[in-house]
Amino acid sequence: MGHGPDVAEGAERVGYAARLGSRVALLISGATVVTFGLALTALPDKVPYPFTDPVIAEQWPGDYLWMYLAMVLMVLFVALVTAVHEWAPAPRRAWSLLGLCIAVVAAAVLLIDYFVQVTVLQPSLVKGQLDGWALLTQYNPNGVFIALEELGYLLMSLAMVCLVPVFSGGTRPERALRWLLGTSFAAVLVVPAVTVGKGPAGDRWITVIDDAPVDLTMPPDPVPTAAAYTVGAATPVETYLDAVRTARDAVRSGRLTKVVIARDVVVTSDRPIDVHAVLLRLRASFGSSYRYAFEGFIGASPELLVAVEGDVVRSHPLAGTTPRTGDPVTDARLAEALVASMKDQVEHRVVIDVVHDTLLPWCSFLDWEPEPSIVPVANVQHLGTAIEGRLSEPAPSVVELVRALSPTPALGGHPREAALALIAEVEGVERGRYGGAVGWVDADGNGTWAVAIRCAELSPDRHRARLFAGGGIVADSDPYAELGETQAKLQAMLSALVRP
């Protein structure tokens, strides 16, 4: 089991190399098509064709070397498109398969064209020039093989067009850069210059990087103020409901096991939002949660993603939610209904199985509670299952485990790549740091990381906050029930922010 991380890391690197290589090959071939086409239309009536002209070829022998190299590149192009097809998310594999078929035909046309030119035509062709506009209609050896070459390049460009939907996703301009690099910005690790932490036993610490300036002056207690607030949906509610229906249909069809659809709302204030005051309210209402604040991203997460202390690893995934009313009898009844809900149990089991299977390669043993338990917070109740085990030697850093787990099916879905592709296609929300992980790590690889939920993203002037909430969609999900669940979850940050 100790080799699991190495295998996972190797597979990830191979997959990244295949994706990056395929993009480079596609961009080069596209540039070749455009350049060759412009040359044909921009030059005068006569265009010399050195590849099949022995006299000119004697002056430029490298052209024949290029043909041999081009044949090798065609084979590599097909191999890279094949790798893209193997990597493609399930909802996009029809496009990648079409692109692969076209790439095979393009490679076959170009391989036959180049092979015949360098092995058969070279000794027998005589010097001549061709009409650049009549390449596809002039019936002689030069014209025929130029036409075949153009057909091959055209098919390569069509293969590229078919592969574009495979890499689509995201709503910001950097989508093109993500496509080119074959990766996502979601894996960025941000290390603050100054980190202040507090442990469960009350111990406090501060970590400073590169002698960053530190101001340890305690801010004064917040003064109660009254502000005017507006609350509205950032993404239309109908967009959210349609996304839930699409996700539910994808699960029912068997393409996915679970997918998490989120929505966001915006709170605006006529006064700057006091971050210190918000954190104090979160501490008062969500004392058992993991509270965090970083560059205007604040929240109180009830969900432990992963913690490492020595050789002990722990996780406490949450999935399945019901409201709390404040009445003990009603809350107990809602908790019993949550435990008995087949829909919520299925949603929860998907998360537990994936977290367990992800951690297992690093562990000598890994155990979990036989049945999920109720995890209450101020505004909602969750189904939660504690997972704990012993790490094998050499033990991984907690950051390595965070990278392997994120995003869990509680924020993304399962299978992960297919779920994330569907989310990017239908959700309409730029999640930013929502759904990632927030925590700390020490020099020995120990640390505690929570899932970045129950959060708000503040604008630089602190007059605007964007809140997020989502829910797991399975076959039995009802769109309006899921909407109600997000409303209950949003109350956590709304109650901490809004002070009219």
What burial class does residue 189 get, using C-beta atoms within 10 Å of its C-beta: 0-12 exposed, 13-18 middle, 19+ buried?
exposed
Closest alpha carbon to 412 in 435, 434, 431 = 435
CB–CB of 439/450 below 8 Å? yes
Tokens of 82: 């094949």
CB–CB of 434/472 below 8 Å? no
What burial class does residue 417 get, using C-beta atoms within 10 Å of its C-beta: 0-12 exposed, 13-18 middle, 19+ buried?
middle
- 229 contact partners, CB below 8 Å, separation of at least 6: 267, 268, 269, 270, 497, 498, 500
10 Å Cβ neighbour count for 38?
10
Q: What's the Cα-to-Cα distance from 92 to each of 182, 193, 383, rounded to whole Å?
A: 16, 41, 33
Active-site residue list? 258, 303
- State how far the Cα of 469 lies from the Cα of 455, in Å rounded to an integer: 8
- 470 contact partners, CB below 8 Å, separation of at least 6: 260, 261, 262, 263, 411, 435, 486, 489
- State how far the Cα of 358 lies from the Cα of 400, in Å rounded to an integer: 11
Tokens of 421: 């592709």
